[in-house]
């Protein structure tokens, strides 16, 4: 396998030509300057693929970004996956399983698969790396997760950003990190896949909550309280699932939580704000042109917390709002209305 002998992949496939898939392809393309390495993006829409091939742009998702010339695109999954030793996946979490079933027969033998996704599957409560392993029959040393404070638009503008590349096998993590290091993007490796994924999933739910508070015109004390207690909730769940506390105080935990909860570029934060301003969930969904994973994942997070016996008060409150069982006016008083206890519990 090439990742064992240290060779870099000659061809990298990126599946999903949305906001993050396209930006990550740019990261890979910029990092491959001066090499023969090729990056190929798979997209569903012929017009997006055409724009990338003919004009090196994806105006639907990244209107002002010029993509490197070593990126091409195709709607043909078998051509995209042929001989690709590294496969990066960036599609909406709830659609992943079905898409993997169609992709599986085309996957190159020994390919390493990387998840960029920050969602939890409804009904199974599985993380994306678990769905990938199950559907593709891969062992943990061939499944990698990239997560961190990574708002696509800022990275597309080449603003300095750090991230985490997580894999049970540190050698594989290092192999992946080595191909995504343009000057503006700095990946750190980590063996704690659970902690890294849970950090990315939960920050979307907490950002919905912060957005709702903002939409109700609550100020910075409330936001800081929700972010901090949100991190405690995230850490409790990660620990119960075998993750490490240090991971949650790093880039994929605190880092991503702060970025998402403070940025108007965040789709989850924006969706929360619209709910707080009084829009219904249907109205919010109709206005969203990109994926806000927290809207669907929140329910799966609540179920997972209940399954492993972890208290998830903020997640439960967000789910109650999303399911129409709690009004946004009643969310504020409920957020901290619990039995008094020590901060460390
Ligand atoms: N955009 C960002 O800043 C970041 C996004 N992520 C994560 O990356 C994942 C993908 O997000 P984005 O690229 O931002 O979303 P997006 O909404 O910009 O793009 C989603 C892509 O998936 C395709 N798609 C949508 N519905 C589909 C379906 N039913 N079947 C097949 N393909 C479908 C779309 O055509 C599009 O190419 C999410 O899990 C998100 O949490 C992670 C870090 C940063
Ligand atoms: O994951 C992200 C930043 O790290 C993007 O956040 P949103 O999906 O809320 O836009």
Q: Which of 228, 202, 226 is nearest to 310 (CA)?
A: 202
Residue 305 lies in a domain: yes
Which token pair is 21? 């898939």
Residue 259: the pLDDT is: 98
Same domain, 138 and 27: yes
User: Full-prediction pTM beyond 0.95?
Assistant: yes
Residue 120 lies in a domain: yes
| Residue that terminates a domain, selected from 134, 163, 191 | 191
Protein residue with its CA nearest to atom 43 in ligand 1: 150
259, 270, 293, 296: residue to mutate for ligand 2 pocket, most atoms within 8 A of CB: 259
CA of 196 to the centre of ligand 2 (A): 14
Which token pair is 333? 């008083």
**CB-ligand 2 contact for 197 (6 Å cutoff):** no
Rounded Cα distance between 77 and 81, Å, is 6
Ligand 1 residue neighbourhood (C-beta within 6 Å)? 16-21, 43-44, 61, 90-93, 95, 99, 116-119, 150-152, 290-291, 293
Same domain, 136 and 249: no
Q: Mark out the alpha helices in the chain (DSSP H runs).
A: 2-5, 19-31, 46-55, 77-81, 96-103, 128-136, 152-156, 170-177, 193-215, 220-240, 245-248, 256-262, 267-276, 281-287, 294-308, 313-322, 328-335
Residue 173 lies in a domain: yes
Same domain, 181 and 241: no
Q: Is 217 exposed, middle or buried (0-12, 13-18, 19+ CB in 10 A)?
A: exposed
Same domain, 184 and 37: yes
Domain of 290, in residue numbers:
194-335
Q: Which of 227, 319, 207, 323 is nearest to 273 (CA)?
A: 207
Residue 126: the pLDDT is: 98
Residue 94 lies in a domain: yes
Torsion sign, CA atoms 158, 164, 168, 173: positive
- How does pLDDT run across 73-91, given as a tens digit for each residue? 999 999 999 999 999 999 9
91, 93, 152: residue to mutate for ligand 2 pocket, most atoms within 8 A of CB: 152
Same domain, 135 and 213: no
Number of folded domains in the chain? 2
| Residue that terminates a domain, selected from 135, 160, 191 | 191
Same domain, 254 and 158: no
Residue 344 lies in a domain: no
CATH of residue 219: 1.10.1040.10
Same domain, 186 and 272: no
**CB-ligand 2 contact for 212 (6 Å cutoff):** no
| Residue that terminates a domain, selected from 191, 218, 252 | 191
Residue 164: the pLDDT is: 98
ipTM value > 0.95? yes
Residue 343 lies in a domain: no
Same domain, 316 and 237: yes
Residue 345 lies in a domain: no
Residue 4: the pLDDT is: 45
CATH of residue 136: 3.40.50.720
| Tens digit of each residue's pLDDT, the chain (345 residues) | 445 455 789 999 999 999 999 999 999 999 999 999 999 999 999 999 999 999 999 999 998 999 999 999 999 999 999 999 999 999 999 999 999 999 999 999 999 999 999 999 999 999 999 999 999 999 999 999 999 999 999 999 999 999 999 999 999 999 999 999 999 999 999 999 999 999 999 999 999 999 999 999 999 999 999 999 999 999 999 999 999 999 999 999 999 999 999 999 999 999 999 999 999 999 999 999 999 999 999 999 999 999 999 999 999 999 999 999 999 999 988 887 777 788 887
Rounded Cα distance between 252 and 196, Å, is 5
Residues across the chain: 345
Cα 141 to chain centroid distance, Å, stands at 20
Same domain, 81 and 170: yes
Same domain, 183 and 199: no
Residue 187 lies in a domain: yes
CA of 345 to the centre of ligand 1 (A): 36
Same domain, 26 and 164: yes
Same domain, 89 and 12: yes
Residue 245: the pLDDT is: 98
**CB-ligand 2 contact for 149 (6 Å cutoff):** yes
């Amino acid at each position: 396998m090439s990742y064992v002998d240290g060779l870099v992949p000659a061809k990298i496939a990126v599946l999903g030509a949305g906001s993050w898939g396209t930006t990550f392809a740019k990261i890979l393309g910029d990092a491959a300057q001066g090499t023969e390495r090729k990056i190929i993006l798979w997209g569903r829409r012929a017009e997006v693929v055409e724009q990338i091939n003919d004009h090196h742009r994806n105006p639907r998702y990244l209107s002002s970004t010029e993509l490197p010339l070593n990126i091409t695109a195709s709607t043909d999954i078998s051509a995209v996956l042929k001989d690709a030793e590294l496969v990066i996946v960036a599609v909406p979490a709830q659609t992943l399983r079905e898409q993997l079933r169609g992709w599986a027969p085309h996957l190159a033998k020994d390919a390493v698969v990387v998840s960029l996704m920050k969602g939890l599957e409804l009904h199974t409560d599985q993380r994306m790396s678990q769905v990938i392993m199950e559907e593709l029959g891969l062992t943990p040393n061939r499944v990698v997760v990239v997560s961190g404070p990574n708002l696509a638009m800022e990275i597309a503008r080449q603003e300095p950003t750090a991230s985490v590349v997580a894999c049970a096998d540190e050698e594989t993590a290092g192999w992946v990190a080595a191909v995504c290091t343009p000057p503006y993007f700095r990946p750190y490796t980590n063996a704690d896949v659970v902690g890294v994924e849970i950090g990315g999933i939960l920050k979307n739910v907490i950002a919905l909550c912060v957005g709702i508070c903002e939409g109700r015109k609550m100020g910075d004390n409330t936001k800081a309280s929700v972010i901090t207690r949100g991190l405690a909730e995230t850490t409790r769940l990660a620990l119960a699932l075998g993750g490490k506390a240090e991971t949650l105080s790093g880039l994929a935990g605190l880092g991503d939580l702060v970025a998402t909860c403070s940025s108007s570029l965040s789709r989850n934060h924006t969706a929360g704000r619209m709910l707080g301003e009084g829009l219904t969930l249907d109205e919010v969904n109709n206005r969203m042109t990109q994926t806000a994973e927290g809207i669907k994942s929140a329910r799966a997070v609540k179920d997972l917390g209940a399954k492993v016996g972890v208290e998830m008060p903020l997640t439960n409150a967000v789910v109650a709002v999303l399911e129409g069982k709690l009004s946004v006016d009643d969310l504020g008083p409920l957020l901290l209305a619990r039995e008094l206890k020590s901060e460390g519990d």
